[in-house]
Structure 1
Amino acid sequence: MERVRVSWALGDHEIEYRWLLGEAPRDRLLVFLHEGLGSVSLWRDFPERLCQALGIQGLVFSRWGYGASSPRRPEERWGPDFMHRQALDFLPAFFQALGLEPGRERLWLYGHSDGGSIALIYAAYHPEGLEGLILAAPHVLVEEVTVASIRKAREAYLEGDLRLRLARHHRDPDSAFFGWCDAWLDPAFRTWDIRHLLPRVGVPILAIQGYEDEYGTMLQIEEIARLAPKVELVKLSRCGHSPHRDQPEAVIQAVARFFRAQGG
């Protein structure tokens, strides 16, 4: 695992990251954006498997506050704009710190949950060098089922074993959990909605959703298909909020077919 110091709007942070399939050409790069409680290690082997299927290099990292990256300070609170800040402030600074130049490298983004929302926001404002998006269980608006499930997660963290399980993947599990949980449960977050950005996302989008997703319904990806110009949907049975864990083969096959169809 490698680290890089990223200077951006909210300070200087050490970010853990890992290159995948380093022997592949660097002309295309698949960047993985994790979920609200994710990290490099929580992806397990899925990024490597997907990059091998596509034959391209990958980049996986833990956002500030997650994994082995710099933790969030206990007094810091993430506002309803935290995904916008990650997309518009952090990602460009992170790419610059790694010496990546979108346009020289043709980028694909794989975003899971909050990471999918971050990918959409980034694509709406930074189309240069971007070839496509793969979105798994993304959020474009706040649904009651999402808020209810996050409340249950909070109970499991405070009273159950969720904190112990997250501690295997985060240097500071409180940083990761409460940064995400407190932002989503903030009453001000109820009006969060990025659907107005979707018509601006001109790159092809593959949006994947499970029928048993406890954090969102098919409305999320159906709104993407209704408002963005180039969208293909994949709806998976026997699949919850993490398609790459519940249906990895189906996801890899769908992404590989979509990638080839776009000239990859």
Structure 2
Amino acid sequence: MPQPHTPPPVVATDHRIALPGGAIFVRSWDPAGGDAAAAPVMLMHDSLGCVDLWRSFPERLAAATGRRVIAYDRLGFGRSDPHPGRLTVGFVADEAETVVPRLCGALGIESFAACGHSVGGGMAIETAARHPDRCCALVTIAAQAFVEDRTLEGIRAARQDFQDPANLARLARYHGDKARWVVDAWTETWLSPEFADWTVDAALAALRCPVLAIHGAEDEYGTAEHPRRIAEGRGTARLLPGVGHVPHREQEALVVDLVAGFLAE
């Protein structure tokens, strides 16, 4: 009688990597017996996110793909050092330009698949465009490709919610005394007039790798126009019925399967 498949054990390892503005916290998940030659998956978190808020997704993705999975807290988030100032309007592209090369150098990464959630998806797009020789595949999850009215409405509602000290305290469980900076960095940057014309169109035009754009049909921060624009002429858009802004938590097994199948191709 055939035995059920048991995923390989996954070993998590923590790192700290020095950047010019401070040190960032990094965690890698390595599946036992995985394919050492396969490009690892680099995860980029959302505007309120951090390594811990990926929950079990990285470990399950590592087990399903047999690839190393890497996630890090951006400067100012989670267990990384405080950010030395305010986010600039160009912060999405800056992440790809300044942080990713240092991360690759510190961990000995020659090539990788970029995977980002929400604004992290924009960072993954910029990363794939700016490092075409290193980035072999791109996955976006609930990413924004431009500033949309629906996005701004959701951010305004969230900014109001975080006036409640209880909501800020819940966020502080992950970001400590950086929680207020995290909220303001998200809301005030996206709602600023200077950010109104932001898009990833130029980066999309420069992409040379396969693309998978995953999006929830009920996403409160963006319509289906975002995955359509990201994937059009470059890959596949998957719109998930009944799913909101965090598909990898709301339908974790499905998203793991989608990403694993895409990378296997």
The two structures have a TM-score, normalised by structure 2, of 0.89
Find the aligned partners of 2:162 and 2:73 in 1 and give their Cα distance: 20
Find the aligned partners of 1:63 and 1:79 in 2 and give their Cα distance: 14
Letter in 2 for 1:85: D
Identify the residue that residue 26 of structure 1 maps to in structure 2: 36
1:191-230, aligned counterparts within 5 Å?
Answer: 191-226=197-232, 229-230=233-234
CA deviation map 1:167-212 (0-9, x unaligned): 1111221222212221111111111011122121110011001011
Judging changes above 3 Å, is the alpha-carbon distance between structure 1 residues 216 and 33 closer, same or farther for their aligned structure 2 residues? same
> Contact between 2:216 and 2:243, CA under 8 Å: does it hold in 1?
yes
CA deviation map 1:79-125 (0-9, x unaligned): 2111111111121122223333x2xxx31111101111001011111
- Secondary structure of the 1:77 match is coil
Residue from 245, 248, 255 that aligns with 2:252: 248
User: RMSD in angstroms over aligned alpha carbons?
Assistant: 1.5
Find the aligned partners of 2:86 and 2:40 in 1 and give their Cα distance: 32
Residue from 14, 17, 24 that aligns with 1:2: 14
Q: What is the deviation of 1:22? A: 5.0
1:95-110, aligned counterparts within 5 Å?
Answer: 95-100=104-109, 102=110, 106-110=111-115
Letter in 1 for 2:119: D
Identify the residue that residue 54 of structure 1 maps to in structure 2: 65
Q: What is the deviation of 1:72? A: 2.1
**Structure 1 residue runs without a partner (length 5+):** none
1:110-125, aligned counterparts within 5 Å?
Answer: 110-125=115-130
Letter in 1 for 2:16: V
Query: Is the counterpart of residue 38 in structure 1 residue 49 in structure 2?
Result: yes
The two structures have a TM-score, normalised by structure 1, of 0.90
Letter in 2 for 1:114: V
- Secondary structure of the 1:19 match is strand
Letter in 2 for 1:2: D
Query: Is the counterpart of residue 187 in structure 1 residue 193 in structure 2?
Result: yes
- Secondary structure of the 1:191 match is coil
- Secondary structure of the 1:233 match is strand
Identify the residue that residue 65 of structure 1 maps to in structure 2: 76
Q: What is the deviation of 1:3? A: 3.6
**Structure 2 residue runs without a partner (length 5+):** 1-12
Find the aligned partners of 1:53 and 1:122 in 2 and give their Cα distance: 24
Judging changes above 3 Å, is the alpha-carbon distance between structure 1 residues 108 and 168 closer, same or farther for their aligned structure 2 residues? same
Identify the residue that residue 5 of structure 2 maps to in structure 1: none
> Contact between 1:198 and 1:224, CA under 8 Å: does it hold in 2?
yes
Percent pairwise identity:
33
Q: What is the deviation of 1:160? A: 5.3
Letter in 2 for 1:238: G
> Contact between 1:35 and 1:112, CA under 8 Å: does it hold in 2?
yes
- Secondary structure of the 2:196 match is helix
Query: Is the counterpart of residue 235 in structure 1 residue 239 in structure 2?
Result: yes
Judging changes above 3 Å, is the alpha-carbon distance between structure 1 residues 244 and 173 closer, same or farther for their aligned structure 2 residues? same
Find the aligned partners of 1:162 and 1:242 in 2 and give their Cα distance: 18
Number of paired residues?
Answer: 250
- Secondary structure of the 1:84 match is helix
Identify the residue that residue 90 of structure 1 maps to in structure 2: 99
Find the aligned partners of 1:225 and 1:69 in 2 and give their Cα distance: 32
